[in-house]
Amino acid sequence: MTSQDVGKYTVEDTHNALRNAVRKALERKKKLGHYSVMWQANRLVLEGPDAPVLTNQSTSEPQG
């Protein structure tokens, strides 16, 4: 992609590309039996059969 190509993509195009990339990565992790880490409802969520157990979770916004 060149700098001239950038103008033809919308924010929605970028959002959809990122959403698809994350969906594919999560599907791959699930197929491999790996756990995934997500942020939902102001909490860190670990999903999967081998996910470690979290303790002392804060409900504050993520740092960064």
Over residues 18-31, the pLDDT tens digits come to 999 999 999 999 99
Of 29, 1, 27, 28, nearest to 14 by C-alpha is 1
Q: Sorting pLDDT into bands at 50, 70 and 90, what band is 2?
A: low
Torsion of CA 25, 31, 34, 36, to 10 degrees: 40
The domain tally of the chain equals 2
The two three-digit tokens of residue 36, written as one number: 């995934």
3-state SS assignment for residue 11: helix
3-state SS assignment for residue 63: coil
Q: Is 28 in the same domain as 39? A: no
Q: Is 41 in the same domain as 23? A: no
Q: Is 27 in the same domain as 39? A: no
Note down the domain range covering 4: 1-32
Cβ(44)–Cβ(58) below 8 Å: no
The two three-digit tokens of residue 43, written as one number: 């909490």
Over residues 8-57, the pLDDT tens digits come to 889 999 999 999 999 999 999 999 999 999 999 999 999 988 899 888 76
